[in-house]
């Protein structure tokens, strides 16, 4: 069996709403957006900052559904600032084709459309 790492989930052009260096770690994501792309609490994600080019990995924790929250916590808060635009992506190791769930959000992190 041959496994490949394929894109599973992507939230495109989300706006960072807060950055908290004193939190232990993770990225907080509005539960509604997590549901739309199939992200689970504790799941590993890549965060790519469109504004400044920073890239890092962390895990997801759910923020209040409908809040629009995208909160960068822990050490990564030094690399990303409120109002930065980011891409949040998760991958899956599989031996089957994967159709990724990808969404575009507006400046308030509200769902706009599937990509």
DSSP E strand boundaries for 24-108: 26-30, 44-49, 55-63, 70-73, 85-94, 101-105
Q: Is 23 a catalytic residue?
A: no
Q: Is 9 a catalytic residue?
A: no
* Residue of 9, 23, 59, 67 marked catalytic: 59
What is the C-alpha separation between 61 and 73, in angstroms, rounded? 10
From the list 21, 25, 45, the residue with the least C-alpha distance to 33 is: 45
Provide the annotated active-site residues.
Answer: 26, 59
């Amino acid at each position: 069996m041959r496994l490949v790492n394929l894109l599973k989930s992507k939230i495109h052009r989300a706006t960072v709403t807060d950055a908290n260096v004193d939190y232990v770690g993770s990225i907080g994501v509005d539960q509604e957006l997590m549901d739309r792309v199939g992200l689970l609490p504790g799941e590993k994600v890549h965060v790519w900052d469109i504004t400044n080019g920073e890239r890092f990995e962390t895990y997801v924790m759910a923020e209040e559904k409908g809040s629009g929250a995208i909160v960068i916590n822990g050490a990564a808060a030094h690399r990303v600032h409120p109002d930065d635009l980011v891409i949040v992506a998760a991958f899956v190791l599989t031996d089957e084709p994967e159709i990724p769930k990808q969404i575009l959000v507006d400046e308030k992190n509200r769902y706009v459309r599937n990509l």
